[in-house]
Structure 1
Amino acid sequence: MPLLIAASTNRSAQATAASPCGRYSVFATHNSIGVVDLKLRKTTSTIAAHQNTVAALKFADENTLVSAAADASICTWGQGFQGPHCPVNALATLGDLIVSASTDASLRVWSIKGGDCVQVIQTGPKYALACSLTYMPHSKIPVLFTGGCDGLLTVYVWDSATSQFVKKLALQGHTDWIRDIDTAIYSSAATNSIADGGLKDGDLMVASASQDKYVDSGNYTGGMVGAENPVPDAKNQGDTDFKDAIEMLEALVAHILDVDGKKYTIMFDALLIGHEDWVHSVQWAQPEVSVTGTKYQPLRLITASADKSVTVWTPDSHHIWTVDARLGEVGGLLFWFLRRPFPLSHNSQILAHGYHGAIQFWEKSQRQSCGLHLLGYQDIWRCKGLAWSPKGDFLLSTSLDQTTRLWAPWIHSGQPTVSWHELARPQIHGYDLHCLAMVHGYGFVAGADEKVVRVFEASRTFLEGLEGVSGVKEGDAEVVKRLPVGAAVPALGLSNKAILPGAPIDTNAQLIFEPLAPDLTTPTEPPLEQYLMQHTLWPEVNKLYGHGFELISLAASHSGTHIASSSKATSPEHAVVRVWSTETWKESQPPLVAHSLTVTTIQFSYSGEFILTAGRDRMWVLWKPHVRNVAHGRIVWCVSWTYDDLLFATASRDKTIKIWSVKDVEGSAEAAVTVKCECAATAVAFAPWVEEGGGYLMAVGLEDGRVVIYKMTNSCSRVLAQEVRVLEDSPGAVVTKMAWRPRKNGSEETVLAVASEDYSVRIFQL
C-alpha cells in the first residue's frame, strides 16, 4: 500500500459513492477510481478504470460497483461492457438493473448478470442529467425517475409483460435543469417525535435538486409518495421568489398512477428554499435503528449547492421543513457536490466533494455541531514538479493547479501509526506552475507560466507546525523566532509578502490570503483546507529575471550554492540555461548555449562538477566543457545522475532509456546500455545511495502511468540493467516526475515519490 495517494475528484456530481455498509468510499479521479478507507481516513488504492475521464460511480450492492466514463464505457467491477456511444451523465442501480443517462438523449437499461443492454429509451431532444431507481410503494415493481434539461421529473414504471420500462408521467415542478434525484422508502419509529406529514410506512419519497436553486419533495402513497425541497412559511415573505414558489405550489395537484390495476397517488409535499445558487445534489438520510431495535427512515434531507454550502433539512412539528445545519467553507473557494451520508453512528457523518476536487468529511461531536476532516485534496491538477527536502523530512510538489504543496508525515500522539498529509501550501499563484527545486533545508525556487524565478523561505508558523505534527525540530529557537510569521498576498498581486513578528498588518491591503491570526494555535495534527489556503504561505524573498519566455525547468546543486533554469524556446537564442548563485541571487556566469529548442530537464551531478541538460531537440548536453550528443530519435523528457556521477540516464519519447558512462573528468560520455520500454519513457530517477553489492536502483516512469524499478550494476566496464518489479497502484496517466526520499540516520527505508497527469501525487515504500 502506498504511503500517500493524494488525488482530487473529477468535476461531476456523481464522482463519489459510499459503500452500503459505510466502511469505505470511492471517488473518480481522472480515468481511475480511488478507494478511501473511512476508518483510516485515507486513500488506500486506485483502480485503473477507463480510457477517459470517469463521470459517475454507483454501488449496486456491497460488492458491486458500477462506473461510467466519457469514453462511453460502463463497467461493473468483475464485469465490463461497452455503454452508449457518447459520454454518460448519470447512473442508477437496482438489483440486476443498471440505467445510464447519456448525452445522446437516451436512457439505456442494462442487465448486470448478462452484461447486455435490454432497453433504449429516447428522451430527445432534451437529455437526462439525473436518474434514480427504486421500487413502487408496497411492491417489487421497479420505477425509474429521470430529470434533465427540460426541468420535468419523468416517471417510468416496469412492465412485467414486456420486461421494459414504460413512461407514465412527466411532472412539472422545476423551472430549470434538474441536477439530481434521490428516493427513500418511509418507515416510522416509535421514538420519532417529528410529525410525519401524513406519511405511512412503505410510502415512497422522492427528492429532486435543480438549477432553479430549489429542491422539490413529493410522496407516492396508496402506492407512492414523491419528495423534493420543503418550503418554509413563504406566504409571509415579500420576496418575489417566494411568491413565485407559492404560485407554483398552488398549481400542483395530486396525480393518479395506475400500475397493474393498483392506483397510486403522487402528491407534491414541499419546496425547499434556502440555497442561493444551483443545487447540484440531494440525498435522503440512510435508514437508522431506534433504541427499541426498529429500523426506520428518518425525515432528513441533505443538499449541496454552488453557493459553497451543504445544508441539512428536517421538518418541524408542523411538518415545515427548516435548515437543521449548514456546512461549508466560509469565504472559501469551494463549490460543493454531495454524496450520500454514511450509515455510521446514526447518520452523524457526511461526505461531500467540491468542484475543485477536495473531499471533505463532517461528523457530529459533543463539543461542536460538526467536526471537519479532510479526506482528499483540492484541485490537484497535472503535477509537474517534485522535490524532497535535503533530509527527507517533507516533499514539495507543484502543479498546473497553480499551487505548491508540502507533504509530511503525521506522528500520531501515543500511537505507532504514521500517515502522510498536506501540511502547508507555500505558494498559491496566479499562473500554472511547472517546476521547482529545493535550495537548502527550508527554501525553494519555483517557475511558472511567467518569466520570473521566485525564491521562497520557510515561515516561523510552518517550522512550529512541522515540529508539532511531524516531530521535526530544526534550527536555533532564537533564529526561528526572528523569522517571518507568515505571508500574505495582496488582492491584485502575485508575490507572497512577508509578515514580520510584531509588525502591523496593513488593513487597507485587501489581502486574499492572510497570515496566521494571533489567536490560532500551532497545529498538532494535519490542518484543514481553509487553514491551508489562508495561513500556510511562505514569504517570497527574491525574484530572478532573465528569461524571455515561460519557465520550464529548474534544478539546484546538491550543495545548494547554485540553481539552473530554462524556459520555452523556439530558437537557440532563447534555448539557454541560466546559472544563478544562491548567495547573491545573480547569474554566476554567461548563459549556457547549446540547444536549439526548449530545454525540458536539467540535473546537477552530485559532485557539482557537471550540469546535464536535455530537450526537445532530441539531444543531451554535458557541461564542463559542454559535450553534445544526439541521443534519441524523439524528445528527451528527463535525465538523472547516479550517486557517484559515473553514470547518467536519459528518458525519451522514443520508448527507450539510455544509460551513459562518463569516461573522464572532461565530461566525455558514451552509451553503455539501452533499456527498451513498451511505451514512451517520461521520467527517470536514480536512487541517491549505493545498493547492496554496489549497484544502483533506478525508477522509470512511463506514458501509460506504470512505474518500473530496475537494478543496475557497473563492473568490468559493463553496465547491466535488470527489471525488478512494476509498482502496484501506479498512476493512471503520464508519469511526469519522480524523486527518491533521501535516507537519514542510517535508515534503510526506500521511499519513492511519483507525480502524474492523473491529478495525483503518490509516495511508495518499496
Structure 2
Amino acid sequence: MTTASLEYIAAGGNRHSSAADWAPSLLAFGAGNNIALWDPENERQNGISALLAGHEDAVNAVRIYENDGKRVIISGSADKTIRIWTATNETRSGFEETQRLTEHSNSINTLAVFPEHDIFVSGSADASVNVWHMQDSTAKLIQTISLKPRYLPLALALTSLTNGDIVLAVAGTSNNIQLYVRAKSGQNFELQATLSGHEGWIRSLDFTKESDSPESDILLASASQDKYIRLWRFQQTAGQATEAPDTIDELSATSAKKSLSNKAHQVGSSSTKYAVTFEALLVGHEDWIYTARWEPKGSSRSPPALLSASADNSLSVWHSDAASGLWICHSRMGEISSQKGSTTATGSAGGFWIGLWQPQGRSVVSLGRTGSWRRWNFDENSDMWLQQVGISGHVQEVQGIAWSPRGDYLLSTSSDQTTRLISEWKRRDKSSWHEMARPQIHGYDLNCIDAITDIQFISGADEKLLRVFNKPKAVDNLISKLSGTSSTVSGDLPDAANIPVLGLSNKAMAAADDDDQPNGHSNGDTDEREAVDPASVVHKSTLDLDHPPHEDHLARHTLWPEHEKLYGHGYEISAVATSNDKSLVATACKASSLDHAVIRLYETKEWREVKPPLTAHSLSVTSLAFSPDDRFLLSVGRDRQWAVFERDAHENDTYKLFSSNPKGHSRMILDCCWAPASAGHVFATAGRDKSVKLWRLSESTFETVSTITTGTSVTAVAFSSDLETSSFVLAYGCDDGSVHVAKISPETLAVHDTLALDPGIVHCKTINALRWRPRLTQGGEKIASLMQLASASDDFSIRIYNIT
C-alpha cells in the first residue's frame, strides 16, 4: 500500500500590513490565496506546518480570535469574503472552514478583533466597516458603517473604556483617524471625534492601556505613509473639553509645525468622558511606516514598548524615557540605510511590511518584500535583539523545479524573478528544510530550470535568453556542512558572486579577509559600470555559518556567478532540459508560428548552438525530456502533438526527427517524461484533455499502450527514476492542485494502484512541475530509504512529500 505524508512547505508571505497575526504557538499569515500556519518557536524549526486553502484571491487580513479556550482564525481576502476557520482535531492542519461571510462588496483590507466583548470588525475597499458579533465561532453582522467622507479603511483598532463603552478607531486612505463609540447599553457605533495631524495615508492603528490599573489612560498609536508615528492619549475627564496644554515632544517641533494644535477631543458616554489629546510624534523612520504594534500585555514596562515596521528596511522598538517622558527609539533591527544597495538586485530588502510581537514580548518577527520572515529574540544578558533562523518562500507562481543530480538540494524558479535553493539542515536528532541560497535575482519572470551537474544549472526567463550559473565555494561549503553531504566543487571556482550596481549579470568575486577592502572582482580592473557596491563585499567570516542563512544574507551573499548566456530564441523561454550525459541542453520558447516553435540544442563544453534547430511543432513547446540513454529527445506542445528526435549514431550532438504524432492528445499537451531505462523506451504525456497516456517504442514509432483518465486537466507528470519494487511509480499533478501517484506494471504498463494524495496536503492551484528526488548514495549504498516527490504550483508554494 502506498502512503504519502508532507515533509516540507515553502511559501512567501503576502505584502499587506494586516496579513498576519501571532498567538501562542501559532503565527498565521496570508500566502497567496492561502493562510500559512507556522510556529516560530517550534524546536525542530520545520517551518510552515499547513496551508489553509479556500480563498479565491490574495489573503489581505488575518486575525486569531481566542475566547473561552476556543481558537478561531478570521481571514479577509481580495475575493470580497471573510472566512472563519475553527480549530479542530479532524483535519491535518488543525483548522477547518466553518463560515463564509459575503456581506462586503469589495476586497477586505483589514480586521480587528475584541474577544472580551464578542465582536470583531472588518474594513473593505467598498468604503464600509462591518461590525460582527461572534458567538460559538459563528459570526453575525450587527452594523455597517459607511465611511463619510468616503475613504477606504486600511487600519482598525478596538478598545474599551472603564464604563464598558467600546471605542473603534478607523483610518486609511485619508489623513484623519475617526473614532466611533458604542455605549455599554447601546447597539451601534457612532462617530464622536476625528483626529487630524498625519499628512499621508494611515496604515496601522493599535490601542493599549498605559498601565494595569483599571483607571489607566489609553494610548493609541497610528503609523502613516508620512514616515511618522503619532501617539494619542485617552484620559478620563470631569467636565467640558478644553485646550490641552501644549506638551508636544520637543523632538517633533521641527517636523510637525503644521499640526502643533493640541485640541482635546471628547469621546465616551455622558457618564464617563475621555479627553483625546496628541501625545507624541515619533521621528526616525525614513520611509512609509506599515505597522505599529504595542507590546503584549503582561510586560513589566509601563507604558509598554511600541514596535514599528517600515519600508526603510528597519524594525524599531520605541520606549518612553522615564526621566524626560520623551519617546525614543531604543532598538533598531533590520538593515542600515547606507547598506541597502542601490536596487533590490544588489541586496535591498525592499522594506518591511509587517512587524509582530511574540505573545509574551520576548521576540519579534518581520515580513519583507521578498516574502521572507525574519525573527529576533531579546537576549537579556547582552540587552540586544539577536537574529534567529526565519522562513522564506516564493511570492509569485512557482514555474519550475529541479533536483541536483545527487539529490543534495532542490532548485526552484518563479515569476517573482528569483531562483532559490532548498536543502536539509541536519543536526543531532533533528532535520528540517530551509532555503540555503538564492542563486539568481533577476529582472524578468523566470519560467524554467534544470540542473546540468551538481555545480551548474540553467534557467530560462521572459528575457528570451538562457543563463548558466556555477556554484560558488561558499554555498557548496554551507550545504555540505549543514546537510552532511560531501563537497562537489573543485578548486577553480570563485568564493561568491554579486551584481554590479548597474549590471544584470552575477559577477564572480573572491571573498576578502576580514580586514581587507577588495575591489570585489576576480577579473582585475573594472570600469565604472561594474563598480561594486561596498555593501556587497563579502568577507570570509560572513560565509562561514553554522545555521541556514538569514534573509539579508540570502539576498546579498548567496548568488551564483553567471557562466554563460545562450541566445537564439525570439520569445520568452518556455522549456529547458539537460541530457543525462550532461553534454547537451535542449531549449524552446513561446511561439505562435513555425519559425519560433523550434527546439535549439546547445553543447555544454563551449556553449555553442548545434544547428540547425529541430522542427516539428507549430505552436509553443511546453516540455522537453531526454530518454535515460539519451538516444531520444521528446518534445510536447500546445499544438497537441508530441515529437521524438533520435540521436545520430556518429555525431552525439545531432538529433533528427524519428517519429511524431500530430494528434497525441485531443487538446494541448502540457508535460512529458520518460520511464526508467529498465522499462525500455517508454514515455508519458499529460494533456488538457484530462488524461495521461503511456507510449512504448514499437519498431519505427511509439504507440499508446495505456491511458489514465482524470477529472481535470493534467499539467505535470514524473516517473520515479529508481525503485526497489517490481513496478514503476508515476506521479501526475492536475489543474486543480491535486497530486496522484500510480503504480505501473513494467511489462504491460497497466495501472494497478493509484493513490490520490490527501486534499489537506496538496496545492489549491495548478501544478506546474513534479520531480522525484534522486536517491542519495554514499559509496554505492542508498542512504535514503523513502521516496521524496517535490511539487511546484501556481499557489506560490513548493512542497516535498514522503512517499512510502
> Taking structure 1 as the reference length, what is the TM-score of the superposition?
0.90
Query: What are the superposed Cα offsets for residues 376-399 of structure 1, whole Å, 9 maximum, x if unpaired?
Result: 326542111111111111111111
Structure 1 residue 320 and structure 2 residue 364: aligned?
no
Structure 1 residue 371 and structure 2 residue 380: aligned?
no
Structure 1 residue 720 and structure 2 residue 751: aligned?
yes
Contiguous gaps of at least 5 residues in structure 1: 189-198, 236-241, 291-295
Residue 759 of structure 1 corresponds to which residue in structure 2?
Answer: 796
Residue number among 695, 698, 720 corresponding to 1:660 in the alignment: 695
Distance in 1, matches of 2:49 and 2:627, equals: 36
Alignment of 1:330-479 (within 5 A): 330=336, 331=340, 332-344=348-360, 347-365=361-379, 366-367=381-382, 369-377=384-392, 379-412=394-427, 415-475=428-488
Distance in 1, matches of 2:734 and 2:237, equals: 57
Contact 1:153/1:173 (8 A) holds in 2: no
Secondary structure at 1:596 match in 2: coil
Residue 48 of structure 2 corresponds to which residue in structure 1?
Answer: 43
Structure 1 residue 581 and structure 2 residue 603: aligned?
yes
Distance in 1, matches of 2:792 and 2:645, equals: 28
Distance in 2, matches of 1:481 and 1:516, equals: 18
Residue 301 of structure 1 corresponds to which residue in structure 2?
Answer: 306
Structure 1 residue 205 and structure 2 residue 219: aligned?
yes
Distance in 2, matches of 1:223 and 1:571, equals: 78
Letter in structure 2 aligned against 1:643: P
Q: 1:273 to 1:600 in 2, by over 3 A?
A: same
Distance in 2, matches of 1:248 and 1:759, equals: 44
Contact 1:410/1:418 (8 A) holds in 2: yes
Give the C-alpha shift of residue 201 in structure 1. Answer: 4.4
Alignment of 1:115-264 (within 5 A): 115-188=139-212, 201-222=215-236, 232-234=249-251, 242-243=253-254, 245-249=256-260, 251-259=261-269, 261-264=271-274
Contact 2:178/2:195 (8 A) holds in 1: yes
Give the C-alpha shift of residue 149 in structure 1. Answer: 2.1
Secondary structure at 2:623 match in 1: strand
Give the C-alpha shift of residue 313 in structure 1. Answer: 0.6
Residue 194 of structure 1 corresponds to which residue in structure 2?
Answer: none
Letter in structure 2 aligned against 1:649: A
Contact 1:487/1:514 (8 A) holds in 2: no
Instruction: Percent identity, please.
Output: 33
Distance in 1, matches of 2:556 and 2:288, equals: 26
Distance in 2, matches of 1:355 and 1:520, equals: 23
Residue 515 of structure 2 corresponds to which residue in structure 1?
Answer: none
Secondary structure at 2:162 match in 1: coil
Residue number among 643, 657, 666 corresponding to 1:633 in the alignment: 666
Residue 238 of structure 1 corresponds to which residue in structure 2?
Answer: none
Contact 2:737/2:763 (8 A) holds in 1: yes
Contact 2:14/2:395 (8 A) holds in 1: no
Distance in 2, matches of 1:111 and 1:368, equals: 43
Contact 2:307/2:355 (8 A) holds in 1: no
Q: 1:246 to 1:532 in 2, by over 3 A?
A: same
Please say which of residues 562-571 and 727-736 is displaced more in the overlay: 727-736
Report the RMSD for the aligned CA atoms in angstroms: 2.4
Secondary structure at 2:750 match in 1: strand
Residue 498 of structure 1 corresponds to which residue in structure 2?
Answer: 508
Secondary structure at 2:282 match in 1: strand
Contact 1:128/1:146 (8 A) holds in 2: no
Contact 1:47/1:729 (8 A) holds in 2: no
Residue number among 719, 729, 732 corresponding to 1:700 in the alignment: 732
Residue 77 of structure 2 corresponds to which residue in structure 1?
Answer: 69
Residue 3 of structure 1 corresponds to which residue in structure 2?
Answer: 7
Q: 1:266 to 1:505 in 2, by over 3 A?
A: closer
Residue 711 of structure 2 corresponds to which residue in structure 1?
Answer: 678
Contact 1:15/1:57 (8 A) holds in 2: yes
Residue 85 of structure 1 corresponds to which residue in structure 2?
Answer: 105
Give the C-alpha shift of residue 125 in structure 1. Answer: 4.5
Secondary structure at 1:14 match in 2: coil
Letter in structure 2 aligned against 1:81: R
Please say which of residues 564-573 and 333-342 is displaced more in the overlay: 333-342
Q: 1:719 to 1:515 in 2, by over 3 A?
A: farther
Residue 27 of structure 1 corresponds to which residue in structure 2?
Answer: 29
Contact 1:131/1:144 (8 A) holds in 2: no
Give the C-alpha shift of residue 662 in structure 1. Answer: 2.6
Give the C-alpha shift of residue 323 in structure 1. Answer: 0.7
Residue 94 of structure 2 corresponds to which residue in structure 1?
Answer: none
Residue 191 of structure 1 corresponds to which residue in structure 2?
Answer: none
Distance in 2, matches of 1:718 and 1:136, equals: 69
Contact 1:184/1:204 (8 A) holds in 2: yes
Distance in 1, matches of 2:63 and 2:691, equals: 40
Distance in 1, matches of 2:564 and 2:437, equals: 20
Contiguous gaps of at least 5 residues in structure 2: 87-97, 242-246, 341-347, 513-517, 647-656
Please say which of residues 586-595 and 301-310 is displaced more in the overlay: 586-595
Secondary structure at 1:108 match in 2: strand
Secondary structure at 2:191 match in 1: strand
- How many aligned positions are there? 727
Residue number among 297, 310, 318 corresponding to 1:287 in the alignment: 297
Residue 612 of structure 2 corresponds to which residue in structure 1?
Answer: 590
Query: What are the superposed Cα offsets for residues 127-154 of structure 1, whole Å, 9 maximum, x if unpaired?
Result: 3434444343223332211112232211
> Taking structure 2 as the reference length, what is the TM-score of the superposition?
0.86
Give the C-alpha shift of residue 232 in structure 1. Answer: 4.8
Residue 89 of structure 2 corresponds to which residue in structure 1?
Answer: none
Distance in 1, matches of 2:410 and 2:280, equals: 51
Residue 195 of structure 1 corresponds to which residue in structure 2?
Answer: none
Residue 94 of structure 1 corresponds to which residue in structure 2?
Answer: 114
Secondary structure at 1:650 match in 2: strand
Secondary structure at 2:476 match in 1: helix
Letter in structure 2 aligned against 1:653: R
Give the C-alpha shift of residue 530 in structure 1. Answer: 1.6
